[in-house]
Chains A and B, each alone.
Chain A
Amino acid sequence: MLYHQERHITHLDLDTFFVSVECLRNPALLGKPVLIGGSGDRGVVASCSYEARKFGIHSAMPMKIARRLCSHAIIVRGDMEAYSKYSRLVTNIIQDTVPLFEKSSIDEFYVDLTGMDKFFGCQLFSGELKKKIYKESGLPISFGLASNKLISKVATNEVKPNGQIEIPFGNEKIYLAPLSIAKLPGVGKQTALLLFKMGVETVKVLSEIPIEMMQNLLGKSGTDLWRKANGIDETPVVPFHEQKSISTENTFQQDTIDIHFLNSELVRMTEKIAFELRQQNKLTGCITVKLRYSNFETFTRQLTIPYTNADHIILKTAKELFAKLYERRMLIRLIGIRFTNLIPGNYQISLFDDTQESINLYQAIDSVKKRFGEDLLIRATGARKV
């Protein structure tokens, strides 16, 4: 297997991706503290610019606190659609350039360059890829080149923004040693706190703890952590896979019990992702509706259906599932809908259920949505009150 030989893996990470996209769309934001996320009190910071980070703001922080820390920050409500578009753009550039890559999130990629060093030089090749991405998409990106995924990811995070670094084979442990354990992926708040209490602060100390002790302390994740601290990571770069589900959910500004509003939201959300499904030429075979009550108790219900992407079937199923799910007289905090069992394909027209008029109508609606934006033409039930 390849794992026994020296590998060359580059981790690419788009710098403050959401913010970068917003800056491209509105250059006035450049150099200003920018927060992406819902502006309401319940929103969280999805991403923030480096200027905002100076104030101590970080992603996943509640918007309320972020605003307190930096009152003049510009808050932009995220536009996932635009981000996906730019992410796809970058994915396409990488796809066209490298032999094997993994898209691990919307803004992160692992590229396996093993075997290319002889011909191109991995450092040089990665540097050119970085330049190419910036030139073609306008988005700054950082990369770390190392012998495995773990080291390359840690290294990328260290050199951000707009940086590049190579950790030569054999130097993994030395590189990790002085870093804080919190920088290792997989070390969350709880684990970090536990280890800090034990006096373990740097990766060096962690790597010198006997593996058995780590096993006793944290179980399986303890040994995993120990291996990470020693710079060992054999996970392969898994080729890019299509997403396995399409979903959306909505946390309301205020918990609600207004059934008309809930139904309307459900219709709006379902219609939105059903359109997305059709645009991707996909069919779904399973629909899941999710509901969270104000006490955070969360319930889901799903139904397997014959493969479809037609609004009338999906909407009907979603409404039925919601009706079955919503059985308590309690305020609702969130509803969500998810399509799984996705397969590529198009809707099989039915002889008796579909009329030529309805088929034409669907095609017309979709072409209007495609041309003028998907929010322009929606079902009246799903329209928000102004």
Chain B
Amino acid sequence: MKFIVSASSLLKHLQQISGVINANTVLPILEDFLFDIDGKKLNIIATDLETVMRVQMDVESKENGKVCIPAKILIDSLKNIADQPLSFNIDKNYAVEITSDNGKYKVMGENPDNFPKEPVADDTNTFTMSSTALVTAINNTLFAVSSDDLRPAMTGVFFELKKEALQFVATDAHRLVRYKRTDVTCPKTDSFIVPKKPLNLLKNALPNNEDELSISYNSNHLFVTHGSTQLVCRLIDARFPDYKVVIPTDNPYKLVVNKQDFQNALRRVSVFSNKSTNQVALNISGSELQLAAQDVDFSFEGNERMNCQYDGEDLQIAFNAKFLIEMLGVADSAEVKVELSTPTKAGIIKPTEQGDNEDVLMLVMPLMLNN
């Protein structure tokens, strides 16, 4: 088998999907890309058994065929080769010979029949959405996903499909983000949980533009297709916690602050908090918000005060500053509204202005102060 391909174009395509490949794999063949030529089209596939990514590019070739090529050595070599046509020669023992203007390189490939088969897309439901909508949704939720393997349901983003909207929910049991798109029409009311890794890969591989994505799912897998690029991943087989009941609906006190000022103040003050808890206490009274952090072990202390609009009773409430900073980073408006009730109940953070077709709600649980 023989084909000719542009070095830079090949590298670009490989880098789109190389994130799938884990550094330490159980099966040696999972360190390979599968090259599959079918009528002048080269399909390149990478998998870690949970996620499969596939890209397609044009090549010059006379025959169809398949081979597995070790990923790391291929990418390392392509990074150092100037853009030029490369010719690949594969013999019947799957030895790969790459010829460039500078010389010849040889690497041992593997039998493509041993490469794991892709999941079949049967019995699927399909809908479409814009690439930017999915990328934004991932950016808005992924940071709140839990890394606690003991609770698998929370290690992914919950996709909640409705006829007139698509909701993305992520939580680590201490905070929760719900991002809603109303410009997506789903075939039926349904839901599934997508693990963190494929979402990270999608975020990096998808363009932040209006390109249309086709999204299909069945009971086990999610299929995302963008042109000739495709990602298939296994869904998390667990029940997402009933998050709706924990979202307070009657938080009476509203605090409105400048987002940038609040975020900067938290960043400065939290430097002086304990590094494990990042505990920052907020003292809110009238139009003043005080932030206080300390680490008694080292006698560190940080205090700041800033202006705010607040219509509730005086309140002292403590939060993990890291959570607040990350959440404020997602809020896409000049001001944010924080809805509070008691020092032990969840606070709700919302941007004061929301984009068309989108709705963000963030929720964070306080730290229990001794009264």
Contact = CB atoms under 8 A, between A and B. Distances in A.
A167 B365 CA distance: 59
A341 to B, nearest CB: 9
Interface residues of A, number: 25
B371 A363 contact: yes
Contacts of A349: 174, 344, 365-368
Contact of B344 (A242, A353, A363, A366): A363
Interface string B168-180: 0001011110000
A285 B274 CA distance: 14
A260 B213 CA distance: 62
A359 B276 contact: no
B368 A346 contact: yes
A346 B174 contact: no
Contacts of B241: 351-352
**Chain B interface size, under 10 / 10 to 19 / 20 to 34 / 35 or more:** 20 to 34
Contact of B318 (A242, A346, A352): A346
A167 B100 CA distance: 87
B371 A367 contact: yes
Interface in A326-378: 343-353, 356, 359-360, 362-363, 366-367
B370 interface: yes
B143 to A, nearest CB: 16
Contacts of B173: 350-353
Nearest to A352: B241
B186 interface: no
B17 to A, nearest CB: 35
Given A344-B296, A345-B274, A350-B174, A281 B367 contact: no
B176 A351 contact: yes
Contacts of A228: none
B206 to A, nearest CB: 30
Given A345-B279, A349-B344, A351-B176, A359 B368 contact: yes
B370 A359 contact: no
Interface string A72-97: 00000000000000000000000000
Nearest to B242: A352
A350 B146 CA distance: 13
A345 B279 CA distance: 7
Most central of A242, A279, A343 by chain B CB within 10 Å: A343
Interface string A34-76: 0000000000000000000000000000000000000000000
B277 A283 contact: yes
B369 interface: yes
A278 interface: yes
B295 interface: yes
A261 interface: no
Contacts of A347: 367-368
A209 B277 CA distance: 55
B363 interface: yes
B297 interface: yes
A308 to B, nearest CB: 11
Interface in B231-279: 241, 243, 246, 274, 276-277, 279
A348 B278 CA distance: 11
Contact of A356 (B318, B320, B345): B345
B222 interface: no
Interface string B325-344: 00000000000000000001
Nearest to B176: A351
B223 to A, nearest CB: 30
Contacts of B369: 346
B236 to A, nearest CB: 16
B86 to A, nearest CB: 51
Given A242-B297, A352-B173, A344 B274 contact: yes
B346 A351 contact: yes
Most central of A278, A285, A346, A363 by chain B CB within 10 Å: A346
Given A283-B277, A356-B344, A351 B296 contact: no
B130 to A, nearest CB: 31
Contacts of B276: 283, 285, 307, 343, 345
Interface of B: 171, 173-176, 241, 243, 246, 274, 276-277, 279, 294-297, 318, 320, 344-346, 363, 365-371
Given A352-B246, A363-B371, 6 more contacts: A307-B276, A344-B277, A346-B369, A349-B174, A350-B365, A351-B346
6 contacts: A343-B277, A346-B370, A348-B320, A352-B246, A362-B368, A363-B344
Nearest first, the 4 A-B pairs at minimum CB distance are A345-B277, A346-B367, A349-B365, A347-B368
